Amino acid sequence: MRIVMKFGGTSVGDGLKIRNVAALAKRYYDQDNEVIVVASAMTGVTDKLFEMAQVASNTCSAKEIETHFAALSDRHEKAIVDAIHDAAVRDEVRAEIQQRLSELKNALVGVCYLGELTNRSLAYIYSFGERMCVPILSGSLRDLGMKSKHFSGGEAGVITDSRYESARLDPVTDVRVKESLMPLLKAGFIPVVTGFVAADKKGVITVLGRGGSDYSASIIGAAVDADEIWIYTDVNGIMTTDPRLVPQARTLPVVTYLEAMEMSYFGAKVLHPKTIEPAVKKGIPVKVLNTFQPEHPGTVVLMKDATSCRSPIKAVTMIKNIGLINISGAGLSGTPGIAGRIFSALGREDINIIMISQASSEFNVSLAVDGAQVDRALAALKAEFNGEIARDLTCNNNVCVVAVVGAGMAGNPGIAGRVFTALGREKVNIRMISQGSSEANISFVVNKEDASRAVKVLHDEFELHKL
């Protein structure tokens, strides 16, 4: 079999974990499989790089940057020692990490001098997390006697447009990835590629959006016609809800592509929302597995669920940081084209509308957008309507989106009734409701303080702990 194995930050948190991951990849290689490894940065490193970039552009405090820098350097040095035993391999990897660290320092100094952090600089700074992790993982594989080479996403052929921070895939990727990785597979190598990191056509580093290394694995899997894509993380697959929120959450043995897309779109962090797209195109099964319990069968994501799961709802999800924008006023009533103008104004600013609802009186349009994009969204709407409806433009940042997901809801009446009756009983106030025509989700907006309770209530109501 040809397998793409992706290891998230939680799986490569330190040198011992990196060695464990290398041993896992070797184990499947030894069972006569072709293996490509895709890896994220070590846990928390991407967040730290963001902080460092912020410090550089805001205060440029040399002391603060130096403290972060020393911690980052120590952490990678310790990982090298724990993941790699052979002195020569260690030295080789160490030299490369030193080189990366000095490039990172130069980038931070540059941001300090300029006093501004562009998306392009931020993507470049982000990329160091993954680019400092893959040499260690690949070194660990060589230490275990494997033939291995590591690549940044761009070097492996993952090519995007120039939206540096949340770049979109260029179709040339399929051919490029095939050209760069297939000969290595044929020669018995285990290629190790950075997740998250890619490059535009000019070779400038880009990234695929936070959490994007799942997407990288799927892009690469589709390009090399993998038999399966395995996403390794720190839980036993895709669960009925986030186990951090509801400890009774259960693993779902099978989830359809549509359900996985809906779940990730509505906040299940276990998969990046775009992960399923390349896999669906080629009909490649995606497995979600636990690095720390590799024998657990986890979840398989497929076109159809042929198991006997009779529950119409499989999962409850939550997105925390949401802004609810309300546009209302008499001017909206019976005026064609308002919705079009709203979409266009937000589209031009690259703002993702998570939910939309319009009351039949046409006096009110509500939009849920990512909390980080609220200010830009409001500015774009104000500019578009130039005072026409500005006085009726309000925003609430104190809300979350909760969704119930399951393909079994389609054509099954009474589910929405059960959802909202259960919430009503528990006095959870609903601010906005939406259901996609796929009927695989019902999503709604609630106040922040009610959100976890809403998830628990629905998990209980549909007895998901018994699935």
10 binds ligand ASP, rule: CB under 6 A: no
Task: List the one residue from 129, 154, 211, 267 that touches Mg ion (CB under 5 A).
Answer: 211
Which letter does DSSP use for residue 164 in this model? T
Choose the one of ligand ADP, Mg ion, ligand ASP, none that binds residue 234, judging by a C-beta under 5 to 8 angstroms depending on kind. ligand ADP
Total residues at interface with ligand ASP (CB under 6 A): 12
Question: Is the CB of 251 or the CB of 328 nearer to ligand ADP?
Answer: 251
386 and 375 Cβ atoms separated by less than 8 Å: no
Instruction: Classify 2 as helix, strand or coil.
Output: strand
Instruction: Please tell me the count of residues contacting Mg ion according to CB under 5 A.
Output: 2
Nearest Cα residue to 153 out of 232, 36, 38: 38
Query: Residue 232, SS3?
Result: strand
CA 80 to chain centre: 27
Indicate whether 13 belongs to the interface with ligand ASP (CB under 6 A). Answer: no
The correct pick among 100, 163, 210, 418 for binding ligand ASP (CB under 6 A) is 210
Distance of closest approach, residue 198 Cβ to ligand ASP, in angstroms = 12
Structure tokens at 175: 């051919």
Nearer to Mg ion, 139 or 211 (CB): 211
Q: What does the DSSP assignment read for 233-274?
A: ESSSSSBSS-TTT-TT--B-SEEEHHHHHHHHHTT-TTS-TT
Binds 196: which of ligand ADP, ligand ASP, Mg ion, none (CB < 5-8 Å by kind): ligand ASP
Instruction: Give yes or no for residue 196 binding ligand ASP (CB under 6 A).
Output: yes
Q: How far is CA 360 from the centre of its chain?
A: 35
* Residue 332 makes contact with ligand ADP by CB under 6 A: no
- The Cα 171–Cα 179 span in angstroms is 14
Letters for 20-59 (x = contact with ligand ADP by CB under 6 A, - = none) are --------------------x-------------------
DSSP letters spanning 383-400: HHHTTTTGGGEEEEEEEE
Half-sphere exposure of 313 (CA within 13 A, CB side): 27
Q: CA dihedral defined by 391, 393, 394, 399, rounded to 10 degrees?
A: 180
Segment near Mg ion (CB under 5 A), from 63-71, 154-162, 205-213, 340-348?
A: 205-213
Choice between 9 and 237, CB closer to ligand ASP? 9
Binding residues (CB under 6 A) for ligand ADP: these are 8-11, 40, 211, 233-235, 238-239, 241-244, 268-270, 315
Binding residues (CB under 5 A) for Mg ion: these are 8, 211
Binding residues (CB under 6 A) for ligand ASP: these are 8-9, 40-41, 46, 129, 195-196, 210-213
